[in-house]
Amino acid sequence: MKKYTLKEIEKVFRKLKSYSYYDNFFLYLRERLASFETNENFESRLKDLVDFLNLNNEIEKSDYFNGLLSNIDFVVIPKKFKHDKIEDPEDFIITNKFSSNHYEVESCNYLIDAPIEIHLISLLWILNEGVNLNDTYKKNNYAYALELDDSKSKVVNGLRLFKPYFEQYQKWRDSAINKAQNFIEEGTDILMISVDVKQYFYNINLTEKLPNFKKDLRKGSTKKGLPMTNMLLKIHEAYQLKLKGNIPSNINYDNCIPIGLLSSGIIGNWFLKDLDLKITDNLSPVYYGRYVDDIIIVLSNASVNENEPKPKSAILKKFFVDRDILKNEEENINVYSYSEDENIKLQKDKTTVYAFDSKESHAVLEKFKKNIEKNSSAFWFLPDEENADEDFDDNVYELTYSDTTNKLRSISEIKQSKYGASIYLAKKIKLALLSDDKKDLKTTKQILTFFKGRINLEFNSIWEKALTYFIIQNNTKAFIAFINETHNSIKKIKVTELDKSCSIDKLQQGQYSYLLNSIALSLCINPKFLNKDIESHIERLENKILTIESLNQIILNYKKTNLFRHYFVIQPLLNFSIFNLETNLLKFDIQNYKDIKLLNEKFKYAPRYIYLHEIVHYLSFQKLYNSSQNINEVNNTVLIEDLFLKEVNYKDENENTINYSSNKVLDDALKLYYKFNYELRNSGVFNQLEFDSIKSAYFKNTRKKNHADTIKYDEVSCSNKQQKDTVRIAIANMIVKEENIKASLFYKPILSTERRKNFIDILNQAENCKTEFLVLPEVSIPYQWLPLIADESRRKQRVIIGGLEHIRINNVCYNIMVTCLPVERNGIKDVITVFRLKNHYSPHESKSIRNQNKIVPIPSPYTYNKFIWKNIHFSVYNCYELADITHRSVFRSEVDLLFASEYNRDINYFSNITETISRDVHCYFVQVNSSDFGDSRITKPSRTEIKDIIRLKGGINSVVLYDEINLTELREFQKTHIDGQKTIKFKNTPPNYKHSKAEDRINQKF
């Protein structure tokens, strides 16, 4: 029998916690986990579990295990409410009223409510025994797909367990549609059939298949016994006994496997593998896929008999009954049984058949596909301001018409879209986080009007989003009104005759608990929002579950365990630092960085992966703050001597002083990245080989000297296995307003709705163009929006270059250029964010700062960056730095591209510099200026009439223009000696150009 250690169980606990963090359905497990981890007996309970698992005696004799089993219960949640729609169209009345005196529940789900130790045993079963079932069903199944290592026999280390459900669901659905479309375009008729397995988890009888179940579990395993399986079966028995007498008579409790136990997904997949196999063998579909209990089948050369009075029944008979897949003993009944297990049933009314004739119009399938693509991209693009500002009602109400949409009498039904409501709220929350504007009273009113009665109860999974929106809007009245309406709706829940066995009290308790957790999770981002008005209102409800005492305890547990929504935290890693549990995580002043110290203990059981760019962000701003504290002011200038954490003890042996270097920031950040994601989760042991492997996968960095040590540059190389020969570059044509610059320098950054709209438009346009690079002007990005920029670069894998608005800390005004380099490792997308202080402030810029008694920082030595990303060699200049003839020649023969981010009125002077630098360094040159000044362009070292690839100025609206440059052509030209160069596309390289370096860039292998 396997011997377990505490470290192993801690790893399993992290997996369970991470799963719960990303799961939006089972809030009861999240609450249990938070309570478990904050309990003073947390570690001793884990040790007790280890001791039990290592016992050799039979589990039936264990008082410890029997005690866990005795604490298994279940939570009742409504699955379907009775609608008031009358089937007879003559008696059907269309109404927008969804409130009533009571709300009848037609069916329920019964989720397991068990001690965390039970969930850990379930997860241990997956990792040690259940994983052996993976090969028996994985081909056609898309749900509960395990994240396996290279051997395909073990679940990966770390936090991951299942592949992301939204990716798997899209893959399952889109693969079917694409396959159907391909056959239609090739001239083949197809049938696409969607069927649903009735009461999936309530009809899995393992008893009959137990021998085969255990046989498959032993495949590929050298172990003799199945100790975890035996424990799991005991857990099933305890759950089934608890359900006895408490569920409707039409559900056989003996067949139930626990909903909410992670192992149930694996068992369910295995249980239906025979059905999967029978359908594929007997039908030979061109596509077959199952997602939990939903099945899609695509058949080629199949059609519907137009003369058949009941075509759906005929199809089910022809393809399923006649081929011994299903049986239908009584004619015209709705339910069909699996021929080899009558407990597995499919419902005709939940079966949809799509018949597509290849000779007819393909528009229906094409429109269906476009709608899916539109919905799939809803969270991919940043919220479009104009579309997001459409009425809430436009997004959540769907009207069904029986005739032309122009006739009011043609409306046959009004439906509410949970998906539409969820998307709308997510977008409004995102926009609200990016600006400091006033309350949106119109949207608030629409939300409160929508979440009433039955609709409110059916949409309980997005209660938290609505409450979060009210908190961000700082709207106490709306928050109270929402709680009051939801509380009153829950009180009106009733059950139909079918579910009389279900206790109304238990059903209502489950909903009150869900409301309590939704309130607590929303308040985690700003506990101070819970003021006396809200507290007194909750007390007046006189609800035994929804109390201030229980609410405060759950908030505290969630914050201590970091199980709330991190994407609402305004600054990266703020919730992993020393901060008061009452801190408002929606607001942050950069001056407060003196109080922000990361705590190791908060990362040990962190529920999510910590991205490198978050750590770089934290370190960069902390070091800016520290440098401003230790500044040496001489004639109103500053020598920056230390921007780095001294405990790292990083020192270049070739230098006498520690100076500004982004490489040191990256080195420090990577050490913390390894510590947080690996070392602390691996019993505090540092593994040098593992660290070196991770670093090489992320980046290589070196420091190089130039021009007698007065100028140095940090080289960062990454993502070079994906080499690019051509590249798309987008330049942002946007106005950088002087009022915004002054506000950041001397007051508070302006984060208005108008500015936010223009900025998001730029980012979304770059995505529409699918560019590899997006370049923004100097001082165009408020530092509060930097997390948005980094995340956009990470998700879209796009290099983003731009200047932050001045960051003033302790009267030191920093002008920072940011370059975001996207990377991907083991399927995880990240971004390397590189900060660089401006080497030369412009005369006007320096004068403006000093006139306000503020300080201009000057780095020593001057430092630049050279980046190699996908084997594209480039560097970035910050406006006035180009005026230094020595500085702009640093990268001669070294780069394919130079970028210049500018806020510059003197376009004539800089126009000459642009043309000079493109010829002298001999590279493509991209210059992006404020659109009112103009001369933003992409140019190349060529003759005058063809040198400018893009050149523009003006325009009130913010737009993106892009073009494609060919790096291979340039390099092939540059590697040739000047005597052999044909100057058709490019001008000759300058004297003493190092042609071998161009050839190296062509031949460089990674």
Whole-angstrom distance, CA of residue 151 vs CA of residue 686: 25
> What is the per-residue pLDDT for 304?
78
Q: Which CATH architecture has domain 710-1003?
A: 4-Layer Sandwich (3.60)
Q: What is the pLDDT of residues 515-529, one digit of tens each?
A: 999 999 999 999 999
| 186 token code pair | 């090739």
**Cα–Cα–Cα angle for 593, 598, 602, rounded to 5 degrees:** 140
| 137 token code pair | 């069903």
Whole-angstrom distance, CA of residue 816 vs CA of residue 172: 45
| 737 token code pair | 């307003």
Whole-angstrom distance, CA of residue 692 vs CA of residue 979: 45
| 452 token code pair | 């009433």
> What is the per-residue pLDDT for 82?
83
Q: What is the pLDDT of residues 558-578, one digit of tens each?
A: 999 999 999 999 889 999 987
Q: What is the pLDDT of residues 781-834, one digit of tens each?
A: 999 999 999 999 999 999 999 999 999 988 889 999 999 999 999 889 999 999
Measure CA of the first residue to CA of the last residue in the chain; give whole Å.
45
> What is the per-residue pLDDT for 591?
74
Q: In terms of DSSP bridges, do strands 190-196 and 352-356 run parallel, antiparallel, or are they unpaired? A: antiparallel
| Mean pLDDT computed over 766-774 | 95
Backbone φ/ψ region at 940: left (φ over 0), alpha (ψ -120 to 50), beta: beta
- Cβ neighbour number for residue 249 with a 10 Å cutoff: 11
- The three-state DSSP-derived secondary structure of 781-831 is ECHHHHHHHHHHHHHHCCEEEEEECCEEECCEEECEEEEEEEEEECCEEEE
**Cα torsion for 520, 524, 527, 530, to the nearest 10°?**
-30
Cβ neighbours of residue 815 closer than 8 Å, sequence gap 6 or more = 778, 779, 803, 804, 806, 837, 838, 841, 845, 878
Spatial strand order of the sheet with 897-901 comes to: 700-706, 711-718, 862-869, 872-878, 897-901, 924-928, 936-939, 948-952
Say if residues 857 and 835 touch (Cβ distance below 8 Å).
no
Predicted TM-score (pTM) of the model is 0.90
Q: Select from 208, 140, 196 the least CA-distant residue to 336.
A: 196
Helix (H, G, I), strand (E, B) or coil at 484: helix
| Mean pLDDT computed over 124-133 | 95
Say if residues 229 and 129 touch (Cβ distance below 8 Å).
yes
Q: In terms of DSSP bridges, do strands 726-733 and 711-718 run parallel, antiparallel, or are they unpaired? A: unpaired
Q: Which helix (H) or strand (E) segment is 966 a member of?
A: strand 959-966
> What is the per-residue pLDDT for 635?
39
Helices 504-523 and 463-472 cross at an angle (nearest 10°) of: 30
Backbone angles phi, psi at 490, to 5 degrees: -65, -40
Helices marked H in 860-965: 907-917
| Mean pLDDT computed over 494-507 | 71
Q: Is the dihedral of CA 324, 329, 333, 335 positive or negative?
A: negative
Whole-angstrom distance, CA of residue 656 vs CA of residue 92: 86
459 DSSP 8-state letter: T
Backbone angles phi, psi at 954, to 5 degrees: 90, 180
Say if residues 921 and 891 touch (Cβ distance below 8 Å).
yes
Say if residues 673 and 876 touch (Cβ distance below 8 Å).
no
| 175 token code pair | 């693969």
Q: Within 13 Å, how many C-alpha atoms sit on residue 755's CB side? A: 20
Q: How confident is the model at residue 104 (pLDDT cuts 50, 70, 90)?
A: confident
> What is the per-residue pLDDT for 551?
96
Q: How confident is the model at residue 494 (pLDDT cuts 50, 70, 90)?
A: confident
Q: Which helix (H) or strand (E) segment is 369 a member of?
A: helix 363-376
Say if residues 526 and 471 touch (Cβ distance below 8 Å).
yes
Q: Is 56 exposed, middle or buried (0-12, 13-18, 19+ CB in 10 A)?
A: exposed
Q: Is 207 exposed, middle or buried (0-12, 13-18, 19+ CB in 10 A)?
A: exposed
Q: Please determine, for residue 91, whether its predicted confidence score (pLDDT) is greater than 50.
A: no
| Mean pLDDT computed over 310-321 | 88
Whole-angstrom distance, CA of residue 210 vs CA of residue 203: 15
Q: Is the dihedral of CA 324, 329, 333, 338 positive or negative?
A: negative
pLDDT: is 371 or 288 the higher one?
288
Least confident of 286-295, 382-391, 499-508, 579-588: 382-391
Helix (H, G, I), strand (E, B) or coil at 592: helix
Q: Which helix (H) or strand (E) segment is 158 a member of?
A: none
DSSP 620-649: HHHHHHHHHHT--EETTEEEE---S-GGG-
Q: What is the pLDDT of residues 174-185, one digit of tens each?
A: 899 889 889 988
Query: Is the preceding omega at residue 248 within 30 degrees of 0, hence cis?
Result: no
Say if residues 582 and 527 touch (Cβ distance below 8 Å).
yes
| Mean pLDDT computed over 861-880 | 94
> What is the per-residue pLDDT for 440?
84
Q: What is the pLDDT of residues 427-473, one digit of tens each?
A: 889 888 888 767 788 889 989 988 988 889 999 999 999 999 999 99
Q: Select from 652, 668, 659 the least CA-distant residue to 702.
A: 652
| 728 token code pair | 């798309």
Mean pLDDT of all residues in the chain? 86
**Cα torsion for 674, 680, 683, 688, to the nearest 10°?**
20
For residue 76, list its beta bridge partners: 110
Q: Is 245 exposed, middle or buried (0-12, 13-18, 19+ CB in 10 A)?
A: exposed
Whole-angstrom distance, CA of residue 4 vs CA of residue 56: 12
| Mean pLDDT computed over 913-939 | 94
Whole-angstrom distance, CA of residue 706 vs CA of residue 716: 16
Q: What is the pLDDT of residues 601-655, one digit of tens each?
A: 899 999 999 999 999 999 998 888 877 776 544 434 545 544 433 333 333 333 3
Q: How far is CA 740 from CA 768, 855, 902, 936, in A?
A: 27, 19, 15, 20
Whole-angstrom distance, CA of residue 446 vs CA of residue 973: 62
Q: What is the pLDDT of residues 344-403, one digit of tens each?
A: 988 888 888 888 888 877 777 777 777 666 655 555 667 766 666 566 667 676 544 444
Whole-angstrom distance, CA of residue 865 vs CA of residue 131: 47
Q: In terms of DSSP bridges, do strands 816-825 and 799-803 run parallel, antiparallel, or are they unpaired? A: antiparallel
Helix (H, G, I), strand (E, B) or coil at 71: coil
> What is the per-residue pLDDT for 412?
47
Whole-angstrom distance, CA of residue 928 vs CA of residue 882: 13
Whole-angstrom distance, CA of residue 255 vs CA of residue 967: 64
Q: Which helix (H) or strand (E) segment is 118 a member of?
A: helix 116-128
